[in-house]
Amino acid sequence: MSSEESLDLPLLSLESGYKVEHYLLKLTCHLEQKTFSGEVYVFVKSTCPESVLILDLKDLFIDKVEEVDCSDGEILTFLSSFEERKNFEQFGYWTSKKARRVLNSNLESWCVKITSLEKRETLVCLHYRTKPEGSSVSWILDDDGANSCCLTTGSLINNRSLMPSQDAPALMATWQLLLQVPNDFSATTTGDETGLVTDAGTYFFTSMLLPISTFALGIGKWKCTDIPMSVECVVPDDRLIECRHPHYPCPFAQIDVVGPRISCRVFHSDSFDPSILKDYISSSIETIYRILGRHVVPKLDFIIVPQSVACLGFASPGLILISPTILFGQTPMLARLGHEISHSWFGINIGPKNWNEEWISEGFATFMEDVVDLKMSKFAHRNELMALKAINRYEILKSDCQNVDPSLQRMSAFDPELNVVINGLNRDKTVSQIPYLKGYFFLIQLVNIVGLDPLLMALKCFVEHFHGCLVTTAECVEFFCLRFQQKEEIRHHAQMWLYSSLLPKLNNDLFATNRLDAEVAEHFEYWKRRPKQNPPSFTFPQSTPDQVLALLDRLLVLESKLLSKNVCRFMDHYKPHLMNADVYHRACELIVAQRCTPLLHLVQQFLLQHPAMGAYLYGELVHSDRSEFHAVAMETYRQLENKLDVNLKSIISDLIF
């Protein structure tokens, strides 16, 4: 099968005879045309006698490729200094060099191959343009509907339709960017600082060696709100921690005198009120800091993205995209903020050596999401609530495993050295939560073996040991085996949750004394009997959304059908459509599964308000034997079609056509 037809993502730059050490980007954003144009300069070093430079890309125009004339030793001198790599004057020096020669290049579907390079260290400039259809970038209207914005929201092809680059986990580099945007528009990126405004554009840089897939940007006509960090004084951490990663200016190699304080801003449209975020973001950053230790990024920017963007949350170094969907309702899903912030440690500072092992990023962040919420909570039954969340997550995992190809259910890479990402282009990856949840449950099993606090202490040591490194599943498992005495149990659970494509059973004894789950069971028995008396209520407001979620999961697998009037009574009693988007979504599943036509308007309302979460519901509606259900799917999609970002539009259209 050719790479055009394959579901595997090719990593052709691994076959290159040159490695990119540093990128200089000069880009102009054309919002009306939905394109970028400019140049990328790549500082490269020869790695073998092969004289071909290979850069990964997709859907780009390459206008010209040049080799910039540099004196002997000049490039090595520049690359040896990380201070030089972030210097704006140096950026201007290299990009203004006039002496150049045109190179031969061959543009292929997934890469560009550049030949006739003569030096072992050299600087190559590619003049290029993006295409509007490139899936690396979303071009959409903000939620006020008045202004366009541009976002890198996470794509199966990473940043390949934004820039030519070497897009593989191990090919890490630094970068500098000069970005021109339309007047009155602002930009933020994954750079180390907030951006230097110059006559030629806004200048950004990073000093951290990272895969280029972690680069992200956002451009829009937004308001910017600072988030104050009101935290207690922290005793400075004066330890200098050993670095095992390639050299760069590392916070672990310095005394930590800042503590949890970090520059933090929210970019949002005029109609959005950021006050809902302020306290939770500040508190969760402090909580994660106290668990995992020093910050690994120097700033955190949040962008509240339009609802029509495919992601609920997307974390890059120092830049986090948040969907308004997670902030919806009377009990919004604020814990998801903890998930995205945790990615600074798990996924960014420590990443998977093979992208097929994404549980190393997502499993740890999902686990931290619940831990951060637990540590911040004053709820008396918070440990039981964490266990109930695990029960709910298992139901999601069970459903995913029934609907996703088994090849996507094994968390460890078959061949870590393979030059492709197996199933990297499979759209099921964009909706499946299996890497999140299998990784999460492996860590939950560790909690059951060693206890929560000992595991959290181990996670801090894990971060200090592996910071700045790419790791494998085997290295993660071995770390915990060396840390704890229960080696055989740890290896057993790693085999069950990470190395197998099967779904292990959840040990119900773990939740046998859970009062919150017992209440769910009582409510389930009530609704199963189709009663006429008044329904019961849950005892604790803090746990009610998770309990209603658990109740909905049990009703969804009920073999007998509820009467339509009882579904209406259920909705009127618990009001799940007002709680948060997670509970609302599950209630919509119940409405569709029970063919409750009187409540179909709530499903359509959900799809219109929260399109990023609607993909599964579209599939259920179009496969219903009720014509009115199918009609709702088609009518809603037509209303949203021109507003959806390119990735979400593609996912939904694949489901309904």
Name the residue type at position 584: Y
Quickly state the pLDDT bin for 347 (edges 50, 70, 90). very high
Rounded to an integer, what distance in angstroms lies between the CA atom of residue 23 and that of residue 165? Answer: 9
* Segments of 413-480 assigned E as strands: 420-421, 470-471
97-135: pLDDT as tens digits: 999 999 999 999 999 999 989 899 999 999 999 999 999
Spatial separation of the C-alpha atoms in residues 312 and 362, rounded to whole Å: 14
Q: Is the pLDDT of residue 457 over 60?
A: yes
Q: Cα 619 to the chain's mean position, in Å? A: 23
Share of the chain above pLDDT 90, in %: 75
**Look-up of token digits 């990784």:** 439
Average pLDDT, integer, range 346-369: 95
Residue 49 exposed, middle or buried by CB count within 10 Å (0-12, 13-18, 19+): exposed
Distance CA 13, CA 24 (A): 18
pLDDT at 234: 67
Contacts of 335 (CB under 8 A, 6+ apart): 369, 370, 372, 373
Read off the pLDDT of residues 522-573 as tens digits, 9 standing for 90 and up: 999 999 887 778 899 999 999 999 999 999 999 998 877 777 888 999 999 9
pLDDT per residue as tens digits for the range 160-199: 999 999 999 999 999 999 999 999 999 999 989 889 999 9
- Euclidean distance between CA atoms 322 and 334, whole angstroms: 10
**What pLDDT does residue 204 have?**
97
Three-state DSSP state, 486:
coil
Determine the Cα–Cα distance for residues 445 and 458; give it in Å rounded to an integer: 14
Model pLDDT, residue 2: 43
pLDDT at 388 over 90: yes
Distance CA 427, CA 648 (A): 11
Burial of 468 (0-12, 13-18, 19+ CB in 10 A): buried
Condensed to tens digits (0 to 9), the pLDDT of residues 30-87 reads 999 999 999 999 999 999 887 899 999 999 999 999 999 998 899 999 999 999 999 9
Structure tokens at 66: 């040049």
pLDDT at 278 over 60: yes
Residue 508: count of CB within 10 angstroms of its CB? 9
Task: Tell me: pLDDT of 4 over 50.
Answer: no
Which SS3 state, helix, strand or coil, does residue 629 take? Answer: helix
Site of tokens 């909690």: 447
Helix (H) / strand (E) element for 447: namely helix 434-450
**Tens of pLDDT, residues 133-166:** 999 999 999 988 888 999 998 889 999 999 999 9
CB atoms within 10 A of CB 575: 15
Torsion of CA 605, 611, 616, 619, to 10 degrees: 80
377-403 mean pLDDT: 91
Separation between Cα atoms, residue 265 and residue 278, nearest integer Å: 10
- Mean pLDDT for the stretch of residues 349-377: 94
pLDDT digits (tens, 9 = 90+) for 207-220: 999 999 999 999 99
Residue 387 near residue 511 (C-beta atoms within 8 A): yes
pLDDT-based confidence at residue 3 (cuts at 50, 70, 90): very low
CA–CA gap between residue 545 and residue 553 (Å, rounded) = 12
Percent of the chain with pLDDT over 70: 97
Is the pLDDT score of 1 beyond 50? Answer: no
Q: What average pLDDT does the segment 465-486 reach?
A: 96
The pLDDT assigned to 233 comes to 60
- pLDDT, averaged across the chain: 92
Give this prediction's pTM.
0.95
- What is the Cα–Cα distance from 377 to 489, expressed in whole angstroms? 31
pLDDT in tens, 312-345: 999 999 999 999 999 999 999 999 999 999 999 9
Helix (H) or strand (E) holding 418: none
Give 238-268 pLDDT, tens digit per residue: 888 999 999 999 989 888 877 888 899 999 9
Q: Residue 415 has what pLDDT?
A: 64
Whether the pLDDT of residue 17 is over 90: the answer is yes
What was the pLDDT predicted at 20?
Answer: 98
- Cα distance between residue 239 and residue 516, in whole Å: 43
**pLDDT on residue 182:** 94
Nearest to 391 by CA among 504, 522, 553: 553
